[in-house]
Amino acid sequence: MGAAMSDALPSYNRDNDHLRLLSIFHYIWGVIIILLSCFAIFYIVIGAIFLFAPEMMGGAQDRPPPFFGAMIMFFGVFALLIGWTTGILTVISGWKISQRRARVFSLVIAGISLLSVPLGPVLGIFTLIVLCRESVARQYQPITDA
């Protein structure tokens, strides 16, 4: 029995190290996504200027139509909401990984992060590889009184 425990121990330590690193990287990547998506505020401001203060854009013949400002604002709000939502969900996934809870949620977020280039695919692939290990999946199983 001692030999079996010693064989399982390096795997357990490796899994814990990988899960800890994944958790940290989820926190970092989530915050980066949130901060980068704040650039969409620029589009919201420019769209608002086009829509509500077109005189700031030049003479009457040079002004864009009002729907142009609304379209730019809509794009900015949409990008901001998608970015903040993705970033917050990525941070939550890191927190869930650190607690060994909601493995499926973290797998879904890993799949979504594959779309956020350049670091998202790296984080997503490694998260999928680690969370699909049998030894890691066992850590996520609920403890029952047997």
Question: Is residue 45 a part of any domain in this protein?
Answer: yes
Question: Is residue 8 a part of any domain in this protein?
Answer: no
Domain count, the chain: 1
Question: Is residue 3 a part of any domain in this protein?
Answer: no
Tens of each residue's pLDDT in the chain, 146 residues: 444 554 556 666 889 999 999 999 999 999 999 999 999 999 999 999 988 887 777 666 767 787 899 999 999 999 999 999 999 999 999 999 999 999 999 999 999 999 988 899 999 999 999 999 999 999 887 766 55
Find the domain containing 101 and state its range.
Answer: 14-140
Question: Is residue 2 a part of any domain in this protein?
Answer: no
Question: Is residue 145 a part of any domain in this protein?
Answer: no
Question: Is residue 85 a part of any domain in this protein?
Answer: yes
Question: Is residue 4 a part of any domain in this protein?
Answer: no
What is the model's pLDDT at position 11? 63
H/E/C letters for each residue in the chain?
CHHHHHHHHHHHHHHHHHHHHHHHHHHHHHHHHHHHHCCHHHHHHHHHHHHHCHHHHCCCCCCCCHHHHHHHHHHHHHHHHHHHHHHHHHHHHHHHHHHCCCHHHHHHHHHHHCCCCCCHHHHHHHHHHHHCCHHHHHHHCCCCCC
Question: Is residue 29 a part of any domain in this protein?
Answer: yes
pLDDT tens column, 40-77: 999 999 999 988 887 777 666 767 787 899 999 999 99
